[in-house]
Amino acid sequence: MQMPQGNPLLLSCTLQELLARDTVQVELIPGKKGLFLKHVEYEVSSQRFKSSVYRRYNDFVVFHEMLLQKFPYRMVPALPPKRVLGADREFIEARRRALRRFINLVARHPPFSEDVALRLFLSFSGPDVQNKLKESAQCVGDEFMNCKLAPRAKDFLPADIQTQFAVSRELIRNIYNSFHKLRDRAERIASRAIDNAADLLIFGKELSALGSDTTPLPSWASLNSSTWGSLKQALKGLSVEFALLADKAAQQGKQEENDVVEKLNLFLDLLQSYKDLCERHEKGVLHKHQRALHKYSLMKRQMLSAAVQSREPESVEQLESRIVEQENAIQTMELRSYFSLYCLHQETQLVHAYLPLTSHILGAFVNSQIQGHKEVGLPAPAWALPGSLALAGLVNCQGRVTSWGAQDLETSPGHSCCLTRTLNSSGRVVPLTHGVGGRCSVRP
């Protein structure tokens, strides 16, 4: 990320530049490790560092704690919850996806990406990465203590920074609420596609079972043996079409899970980390500053009271020393408060740099829906057309039950039949023509 000359507060970065910083894969290693307490391991691979390391969930926890300790005024994404007992396959997969989103957001965050903790987490292959991370953070201090611009952060802030902060916080809160609802709906749509695929597959299997039935016909039904034979042939052909439909529906559901739902979750994780940062700013820095001012006020009152009551010089000197210490603490808290606003301003810009991601996500969703409908509808097989039950010679285009044989399928005068193909008495698919007066005729 490049900072323009003049004002280091302003950031210049694009979504493409952020995404190009790194792509990290988090894959589940089959089987659980541990002699007594079983745990899951992940293979974490970084394109930037060209590394592949093994990490446990607890390694992510320590890394997350180090980030909060070193960067309290930045957006640190939350970790997924840890379930000690009864972690089923669905929970483990959801947690793997969440860990992948977490590490990618961290790896692409400008200050985080240059920190030694990230490099250690993604490339250190030693036996105890947790201790290595803790050692790297000892006697280092947080970003405020290591940033040369921190004492002058106030000079770069706009005069109406508090108003801008309030407006930005409300805007991002509204964006989060709306995209949270969109994510829920997209998740349901993708889930329905996968459920639909399972139903279509079962439907096709049942049709195939009927078409492959070898049960002999009873003697009283032998006159209509051609009807049952033609129907079985048609049902067996239909089962193949339903299998293709099931495959297309499953592909669409999986594609929308990966390209739409998962990326919406990434965007929501980013927005949630911004909301958490705003809360830390208000409940952390501002609250501590107010407490320091209150403590300073109490000390001043005590000093005035001591001067009036003419206490011993030593006690007055001690009180004066404490007041000086408190004044220094207040000054430090003021500087931290301004630095927190400085970081918040930059993090707000970072959120806006990610906003174009939403257009890519929604575009992928629209394309998936269009492609899914095209694959189902073009070319439309005869059984998918209205009146398709006539394929087996059972129902005409008006829905009236007919018998299969030499008779034509009938329609009312002036009515156009909705079928283009059907089966003749030999069980072959043939074109369907319309006779005079709207009568449908099967050409042999």
Check residue 21 and report its DSSP letter: T
Check residue 65 and report its DSSP letter: H
Separation of alpha carbons 232 and 137, rounded Å: 73
Please state, as a whole number, how many other Cβ atoms lie within 10 Å of the Cβ of residue 155: 11
- Provide the terminal-to-terminal Cα distance of the chain, rounded to the nearest Å: 73
151 touches 335 (CB < 8 A): yes
Separation of alpha carbons 136 and 246, rounded Å: 53
Which residues are 51's β-sheet partners? 46
Residue 188 pLDDT exceeds 80 = yes
Three-state SS for 53? strand
396 touches 390 (CB < 8 A): yes
109 touches 74 (CB < 8 A): yes
Say which residue the tokens 């279509």 belong to.
200
Q: State phi, psi for 358 to the nearest 5 degrees.
A: -65, -35
pLDDT in tens, 306-346: 555 555 565 656 666 666 666 677 777 888 889 999 999 99
Output the pTM of the full model: 0.76
Say which residue the tokens 């005024």 belong to.
73
pLDDT in tens, 114-165: 999 999 999 999 889 999 999 988 878 889 889 999 999 999 999 999 999 9
Structure tokens at 261: 């739902």
Q: Which domains does the chain possess? A: 1-146 (3.30.1520.10), 190-377 (1.20.1270.60), 382-442 (no CATH)
| pLDDT bracket for residue 12 (50, 70, 90) | confident
Residues 111-140 as b or e (16 or more Cβ within 10 Å = b): bbbebebbbbbbbbeeeebbeebeebbeee
Identify the pLDDT of residue 330: 72
Strands (E), 175-328: none
The dihedral built from the CA positions of residue 389, 393, 397 and 402, taken in this order, carries a sign that is negative
Separation of alpha carbons 269 and 323, rounded Å: 43
Residue 439 pLDDT exceeds 70 = no
